[in-house]
Amino acid sequence: MTSHIETLVQQLDGKADESYDARAELIWIGADAIPAVINGLPSLGGFGQLTAIEFLGGLAQGGGGLVVGTDGGAAGGVERPRRRS
């Protein structure tokens, strides 16, 4: 059975919207997602690997990196992920 986090890691290699949504959710999940992202790197193509690096960079910056949203709202589709308590 594939975990939700592993599914998100595979989505990093998908179309741009799907990939950015997966990255945003992984950043929200935080450090708990790191092992699955690292284990999934060999199975990802170039785009997915770059998106995974962006995820890791977002965590290195305290999880507050900007994430492109898909809602196109007033903030231009840019939002900050919520941090876990």
**In this structure, what are the phi and psi dihedrals at residue 67, rounded to the nearest 5 degrees?**
-125, 135
Can you tell me which residue has the tokens 């170039």? 46
Domain boundaries, the chain: 4-79
Residue 57's pLDDT is 85
* Calpha distance 52→19 (Å, rounded): 10
Maximum alpha-carbon separation in the chain: 39
73 φ/ψ sector (left φ>0, alpha ψ -120 to 50, else beta): beta
Comparing 37 with 81, the larger pLDDT belongs to 37
Q: Is the model's pLDDT at 18 over the cut of 90?
A: yes
**According to the model, what pLDDT value does residue 59 have?**
80
84's tokens? 């876990």
Q: Each residue of 21-57: pLDDT tens digit?
A: 999 999 889 989 999 999 999 999 999 999 999 888 8
